[in-house]
Structures are given as structure tokens and as C-alpha cells.
């Protein structure tokens, strides 16, 4: 699954949650929406490809993983010190320049977005440094009655206008020092912020910052950021209101209206008592004035929505039955695959004994060479399922890959241009592992392909054709300049 597919699927989930939120409103508990936001966030963050027959994406043929779908993947690692990108169609971009610029653009945007969202937090650290412990007896008594597994502090600062909570491992409730609050108001404010700490809302804030930084180009993540933060406040309001009397809830709602008059904008990594301001205050007041108790019916609906959203919208389309035929010359997974995808690539050096073109001496060739000027940049495919045993650069072999297969068989790929896999990676038959080039001592674009069984070289063509359903025609070289020296 590609990065853009992950971002698109997350956007679809986000849109559906927003529509559900608009349609259902407060008939569902805020915790239901948070569970769905967690599902959407996981889809944005984790590149896990889980296919399902019930996935909605099965309806769109263009999204199915077949041989005609063009997919861009980032190469793990670097070649010649630069990140490289290729497409699954088998042709590398010219020098990787176009997609390299896209990668640089994305990375620049991600870093700028992250720094922008976190910079406010660092700027406001002076609030924390200038804050003082609250010595009020009521506050100390209240804190003793509301203990948590994580120790938290209650402090005050002249730099803040509304109460807020910050800190994940060492949480702090920060109160405005210039405002005098009655004990009842203090109780309501502290209970609200205490619920933020109890629910790990700061962790949610950081996850939202990371998602927005990674998918900064996707408008859906900013919609998710806005609505998810609102639902965090609603969830906290609901948890607070359930522990209060009707009279206290009215006081709680009035206190929210008073705090909403503040003009300061909260930063993304702490929770403010008046986060939503007047814009969403009506929704918060309704939650406070009409608190809902736990309902098994709502819980079942939440679980069903979560499972349905995950199965239908968070999974990818199933592959077609012939999906293993990713390339024109690929065979089903249990068969060996011709290692070069391009039809322009020809067999330019056969396995066996040959006369050296310079010295005239006879020597044994333990590999075949496949290449041609028109095949440069074509995808090199794994001939069988296996694990990358070695990969790197050698002065003679150039960029090379060694893949270990079952039955003590190893396949070697020499003179590659760009390596698409790293040591320890699992590959499947027909999967692109490199692009065809002329690195090392090759005099032209070619792939030197060798097969070793039990440590002994064998004829790669015989090994490849021995298990293929259709016979592949090979040609002897017309020009030895495309072979290795």
C-alpha cells in the first residue's frame, strides 16, 4: 500500500465520521466519535495493508492491485547518497529527479508544519517557568481527594487567562493567577482539567500534531484535527457533568461562557478550558445541561460502527486472482519469474564456457547476462520468494542483491542501477527489487543473474524455465558491449 493510498483512505474515513457527526449529533456519546477518530488516525499513521472482501474499494477497479496500476514506492535506503523513487510500471524516472523533488517538497512541508505547531508550545514554556505552586488550602484538599496514578501539579501563572493542562508524563493544571475564583468555580475548573489528565488528552493532541505533519497536504487531516479536538472537549465535559448536580451543571455552563471571552488561541499540545470559544459553545452547553449516562445500546452501536468502519473503509481491495502476474512475464507465485520486466531486454551472455573476447582463454561463466540499451531503467524482479541475504555495492558487481530461497537456493543480481530492497527484507516472486543499470565493471546496461543450489552454480535459464508453464525464447548476443567485462 502506498503513502497516497493511505492518505486517501484516511480522508474517506474522516469524511464519513464528519457526516455521521452531523447526522447523529448528540444522539451518540462523544466517546463514540473518539473511537471512530482513533480508527481514522490509525489509518493515517500505520501503513498496514489489510485486504477484505467487504472493502468498499472493491467497487473501484482502478484501486484494485492489478498489473496496470501504477504505484510509486520509496526505496528503503539511498543509492549514491540520494533517495530514489520508481514506479511499478518498471521504468525509473529520469534520474529520479522528478519524484525526488516531490519527496523533498513533502519532507519540507512536514518539517515546517511540525515546527509551526510545536513552536507555540516552546514559546509558552515561559508560562511554565514563571508559574508558582498554588498554596490555597481548598486546592490542596481537592487534589488530595482527586488523586491519579500519575502525579500532577496545580500551579498558577499571570501569563494565562484561562485554565489549561499541559504535560504528558508530568501533567500540570495551570490556573490564571490574576483571576479570583470562588471555591465552587475552582472545583468545576479543576474537575474539568483533571478529566483531561485522566483521559490522556495531551497524548491525543500530540498524535494529531504528528498526523497533520505527515499528511499536511491532505485537507482531511486538518478537518480531523478540528473535529477531534472538539470531541475531546465534549467527552471531557460529559465526564465532568455526569458527576455534578443539575445546579452545578448550570454553574459549569455559565463558567464556560465567561471563559470563552478570552482572546488567546490555545496551542496544539495542551487542553484549554475554553478551547472552542463561542463557536462551538452551544454544543458543549447542551452536553453539560443534558448529560447522558452509559447505555449498553449506545455501546453496541459504537462497537458496530467501529467494526463496520474498519472492515468496509479502512481495509484495501482484494487483489484479482491473477494479481501475482504483476509483470507481463511473471508467473504465479509458485513459479519462477524471469528477472527483467522489459521486453526490450535480451539474453546477451549465456551460462557455460566461453572464450574471453580479449585474452582468448576459455573460462566458465556461472551466470547469464540480460540487457540492452533500451532496457536501461527497467525493473529487476525477484525470481522467487525469498529473503534478501546481502545487498550493497562492489567494484566488480556494482550494486548487487543476493536473495536466499527455499531448498538452499540463492539468486544473485549484479550491475543494478538502484536497489529497492534492503538486507533482511522479504520479497515475493515478481516483486521489483532493483532497476537495470550498468554499475560496476559492466560496459553496458545489463543484469548478471546467477543461481546457486547447495553452493554450486547452475544454469539460470534451465532453472527459470524448468518450472514455467510457457517457454521463453532467448537470443544470443549480437553485441558483446552490453555484457560485463
Give the bridge partners for 442, in sequence order.
484
Rounded to whole angstroms, the Cα distance separating 164 from 166 reads 7
Residues 6+ apart with CB under 8 A from 361: 355
Burial of residue 110 (CB within 10 Å: 0-12, 13-18, 19+) is: middle
Query: Residue 95: what pLDDT?
Result: 39
Query: Residue 450: what pLDDT?
Result: 94
H or E element at residue 99: helix 97-123
Q: State in words which class domain 346-482 has.
A: mainly beta
**Residue carrying C-alpha cell 530461497:** 405
Query: Residue 98: what pLDDT?
Result: 45
What are the two backbone dihedrals, phi and then psi, of residue 225, each rounded to the nearest 5 degrees? -60, -45
Can you read off the three cell numbers belonging to residue 2? 502506498
For the chain, the farthest-separated pair of C-alpha atoms sits apart, in whole angstroms, at 103
Query: Residue 142: what pLDDT?
Result: 92
Strand segments (E) across 31-92: 72-74, 85-87
Q: Domain spans of the chain?
A: 124-292, 346-482
Mean pLDDT in each 10-residue stretch from start to end of the chain (485 residues)? 83 90 79 88 85 72 43 35 36 44 89 86 73 88 90 87 84 85 87 90 90 93 90 87 86 77 52 53 74 69 77 67 39 67 84 69 83 87 92 92 91 93 90 92 90 90 64 37 38
DSSP for 401-440, written as a single string: EEEEETTTEEEEEEEEEEE---TT-EE-TT-EEEEEB--T
Count of C-beta atoms within a 10 Å radius of residue 427: 21
Query: Residue 87: what pLDDT?
Result: 37
Query: Residue 269: what pLDDT?
Result: 54
Q: What is the pTM of this model?
A: 0.57
Amino acid at each position: 500500500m502506498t503513502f497516497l493510498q493511505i492518505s486517501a483512505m484516511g480522508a474517506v474515513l474522516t469524511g464519513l465520521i464528519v457526516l455521521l457527526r452531523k447526522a447523529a449529533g448528540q444522539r451518540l456519546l462523544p466517546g463514540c466519535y473518539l473511537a471512530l477518530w482513533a480508527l481514522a488516525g490509525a489509518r493515517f499513521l500505520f501503513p498496514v495493508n489489510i485486504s477484505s472482501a467487504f472493502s468498499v474499494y472493491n467497487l473501484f477497479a482502478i484501486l484494485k492491485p492489478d498489473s496496470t496500476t501504477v504505484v510509486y514506492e520509496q526505496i528503503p535506503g539511498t543509492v549514491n547518497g540520494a533517495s530514489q523513487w520508481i514506479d511499478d510500471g518498471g521504468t525509473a524516472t529520469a534520474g529520479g529527479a522528478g519524484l525526488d523533488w516531490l519527496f523533498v517538497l513533502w519532507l519540507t512541508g512536514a518539517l515546517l508544519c511540525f515546527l509551526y505547531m510545536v513552536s507555540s508550545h516552546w514559546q509558552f514554556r515561559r508560562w511554565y517557568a514563571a508559574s508558582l505552586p498554588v498554596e490555597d488550602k481548598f486546592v490542596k484538599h481537592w487534589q488530595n481527594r482527586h488523586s491519579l496514578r500519575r502525579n500532577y501539579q496545580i500551579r498558577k501563572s499571570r501569563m494565562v487567562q484561562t485554565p489549561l493542562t499541559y504535560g504528558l508524563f508530568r501533567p500540570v493544571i495551570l490556573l490564571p493567577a490574576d483571576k479570583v475564583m470562588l471555591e465552587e468555580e475552582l472545583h468545576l475548573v479543576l474537575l474539568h482539567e483533571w478529566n483531561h489528565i485522566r483521559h490522556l488528552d495531551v497524548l491525543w493532541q500530540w498524535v494529531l500534531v504528528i498526523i497533520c505533519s505527515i499528511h499536511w497536504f491532505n485537507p482531511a487531516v486538518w478537518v480531523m484535527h478540528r473535529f477531534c479536538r472538539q470531541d475531546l472537549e465534549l467527552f471531557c465535559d460529559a465526564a465532568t457533568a455526569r458527576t455534578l448536580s443539575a445546579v452545578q451543571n448550570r454553574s459549569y455552563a455559565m463558567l464556560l461562557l465567561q471563559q470563552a471571552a478570552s482572546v488567546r488561541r490555545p496551542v496544539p499540545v495542551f487542553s484549554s478550558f475554553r478551547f472552542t470559544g463561542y463557536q462551538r459553545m452551544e454544543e458543549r452547553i447542551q452536553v453539560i445541561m443534558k448529560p447522558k449516562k452509559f447505555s449498553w445500546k449506545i455501546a453496541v452501536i459504537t462497537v458496530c460502527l467501529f467494526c463496520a468502519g474498519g472492515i468496509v473503509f479502512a481495509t484495501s481491495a482484494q487483489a484479482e486472482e491473477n494479481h501475482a502476474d504483476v509483470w507481463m512475464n511473471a508467473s504465479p507465485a509458485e513459479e519462477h519469474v524471469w528477472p527483467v520486466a522489459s521486453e526490450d531486454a535480451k539474453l546477451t551472455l549465456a551460462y557455460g564456457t566461453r572464450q574471453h573476447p580479449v585474452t582468448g582463454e576459455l573460462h566458465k561463466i556461472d551466470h547469464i547476462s540480460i540487457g540492452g540499451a533500451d532496457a536501461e531503467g527497467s525493473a529487476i524482479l525477484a525470481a522467487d520468494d525469498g529473503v534478501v541475504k546481502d545487498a550493497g555495492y562492489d567494484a566488480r558487481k556494482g550494486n548487487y542483491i543476493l536473495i536466499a530461497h527455499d531448498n538452499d537456493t540463492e539468486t544473485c543480481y549484479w550491475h543494478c542501477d538502484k536497489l529497492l530492497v534492503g538486507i533482511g527484507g522479504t520479497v515475493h516472486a515478481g516483486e521489483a527489487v532493483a532497476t537495470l543499470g550498468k554499475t560496476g565493471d559492466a560496459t553496458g546496461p545489463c543484469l548478471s543473474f546467477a543461481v546457486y543450489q547447495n553452493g554450486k552454480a547452475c544454469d539460470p535459464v534451465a532453472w527459470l524455465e524448468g518450472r514455467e508453464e510457457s517457454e521463453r525464447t532467448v537470443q544470443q548476443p549480437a553485441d558483446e558491449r552490453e555484457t560485463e567485462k
